[in-house]
Amino acid sequence: MQQRNSGPADLDALEAELRRDLERLELPGKPWVPQRETAEGRPVADVAVVGAGMCGLAAAAALRLLGIERVRVLDRAPAGGEGPWVTFARMETLRSPKTLAGPALGLPALTFRAWFEAQRGAEGWERLGKIPRAMWMDYLGWYRRVMGIAVENDVPIASVRPREDGLIALELADGAEDVLCRRLVLATGRDGLGGPAVPRFAQRADRRFWAHSAEAIDFAALRGRRVGVVGAGASAFDNAAAALEAGCASLDMLVRRPALPRVNKFTGIGSPGVVEGFAGLPDEWKWRFLHHVLGEQTPPPRDSVLRVSRRPNARLRLSSPVLSLAEAEGALRVETPRDSFLLDFLVFATGFRADLARRSELALLAPHVRLWRDRFAPPEPGLENDELADSPDLAPDYAFQERVAGACPALARVHCFNHPATLSHGKLSGDIPAVSEGAQRLARAIARSLFVEDREHHFARLQAFDTPELLGDEWPEAVQPPGVAA
């Protein structure tokens, strides 16, 4: 039988299917959180989510499904530019297999596959290799719409300020009225608690000669130029490919290791056991798992490597960590243990580091946040790792914890749902495979804490509830009149 063409009508049908599924599951739950206002009558959000990328959308949707409806989602990017997908991500396709459910929260009609097949059909799905990067962004835009997530774009946060009344104020950079909330979720991506990791010697070089891979780079301006990329991960190869495809004269990849990593360790042992069990590991074992993964390093995708290696003007320099940079002859002189040469531009694809002191909006919280280095020491030599030590030590609900008890109680209402949460919770708040599980864990914990906090309100509702199940005419002598003791 010939497959019929798919199109907008099929997407309409998918959305109708999603609505039916939600109705069958009685989702979203009925609103139950009491509305809160300040003494001056200002409205208060139950939860504010900073960041409307994949993690922020999944968190907001999970909260909404649990009947928490006063959720404000803020993002500093313009609409359609949230997250890395159409900004500094430069790969052709996603690394993750197309079959992963991603942020679908257990709803089949909300998966990328359902969205794709509604437009391209089952045969199109079979032909698809990996998901094109820009297409994933289109899917997230659809996800945002069908889940009813209202995102406030172009809203950078200037400061997060705890208030004496227990609320959290988000002061906005544009001077608009601050946002008040009871709980705050930081869904701010890989650099959300710090920033790019760049060697100090690079920071002393003139900025016209270099950039971090997460920054805007004018690749067209690199045409005919000598370009280098520091790093061996996916981002390194993606940036190298972007420079080559823009017509750079030569491309040198500078890799400190003697060989490229080949095995993706954590993905290889992925399972529901890892997803659900990592957070329950003793501290020592959490550390051992991630120390091993970081030590082995995640290999770049095969397609990303081939995208670079097929170019005759690309060179891979192994065992070549950059030792120093110096301006010379209108370019950068790069020193490695093996060689010295000139480059016109250098891209540092060196990842990110958690460093709360670099986040000016968190200045009032940062001194009080407990890090893993504040409470845990590796059990034996060889397990030291500054990247892990700088991770925030999070509670089971993703909330920050105080370095000194009682110094900043508001931290218990600020939830870290971004990449630095990995050591405390596993890979549930930054990558596609388990983001639904992470978002649901976060939403359930917030729902629990809000109910406990509002227990007097809910007990009063319990006492006041008087809708009868029995009307008194079912078996009159068996039903006591109201107020009459048995």
The CA angle 214-217-219, to the nearest 5 degrees, is 135
pLDDT at 4 over 80: no
What is the model's pLDDT at position 481? 62
What is the model's pLDDT at position 2? 38
What is the model's pLDDT at position 6? 57
pLDDT tier for residue 480 given thresholds of 50, 70 and 90: low
Could you read off the pLDDT of 160-173 as tens digits, one per residue? 999 999 999 999 99
d(CA 46, CA 247) in angstroms, rounded, equals: 51
* Contact predicate 88/224, CB 8 Å: no
d(CA 235, CA 89) in angstroms, rounded, equals: 8
Segment among 111-125, 267-281, 322-336 with least mean pLDDT? 267-281
Higher pLDDT, 235 or 8: 235
d(CA 236, CA 351) in angstroms, rounded, equals: 9
pLDDT tier for residue 239 given thresholds of 50, 70 and 90: very high
Could you read off the pLDDT of 81-96 as tens digits, one per residue? 999 999 999 999 999 9
Pick the CATH number of 8-194+353-456 from 1.10.510.10, 3.30.413.10, 3.50.50.60, 3.90.110.10: 3.50.50.60
Domain boundaries, the chain: 8-194+353-456, 198-262+299-350
What is the model's pLDDT at position 1? 32
The per-residue DSSP string of 305-353 comes to HHHHHTSTTEEEETT----EEEEETTEEEEE-SS-EEEESEEEE---EE
Could you read off the pLDDT of 217-228 as tens digits, one per residue? 999 999 999 999
Could you read off the pLDDT of 241-252 as tens digits, one per residue? 999 999 999 999
pLDDT at 397 over 80: yes
User: Which CA distances in Å does 44 have to 49, 61, 187, 485?
Assistant: 13, 19, 20, 43
pLDDT tier for residue 3 given thresholds of 50, 70 and 90: very low
d(CA 150, CA 286) in angstroms, rounded, equals: 36
Could you read off the pLDDT of 104-160 as tens digits, one per residue? 999 999 999 999 999 999 999 999 999 999 999 999 999 999 999 999 999 999 999
What is the model's pLDDT at position 470? 87
Same topology, domains 8-194+353-456 and 198-262+299-350? Answer is: yes
How confident is the model over 67-78, as a mean pLDDT? 97
- Homologous superfamily, domain 198-262+299-350: FAD/NAD(P)-binding domain (3.50.50.60)
- Looking at the DSSP bridge assignments, the partners of residue 169 are 161, 180
pLDDT tier for residue 266 given thresholds of 50, 70 and 90: confident
pLDDT tier for residue 361 given thresholds of 50, 70 and 90: very high
What is the model's pLDDT at position 267? 80
What is the model's pLDDT at position 278? 95
pLDDT at 392 over 80: yes
* Mean of the per-residue pLDDT values of the chain: 94
Polymer length in residues for the chain: 486
What is the model's pLDDT at position 471? 87
The per-residue DSSP string of 427-461 comes to S-SSSSTTHHHHHHHHHHHHHHHHHHHTHHHHHHH
Instruction: Give which of 250, 25, 260, 21 is closest to 146, Cα–Cα.
Output: 21
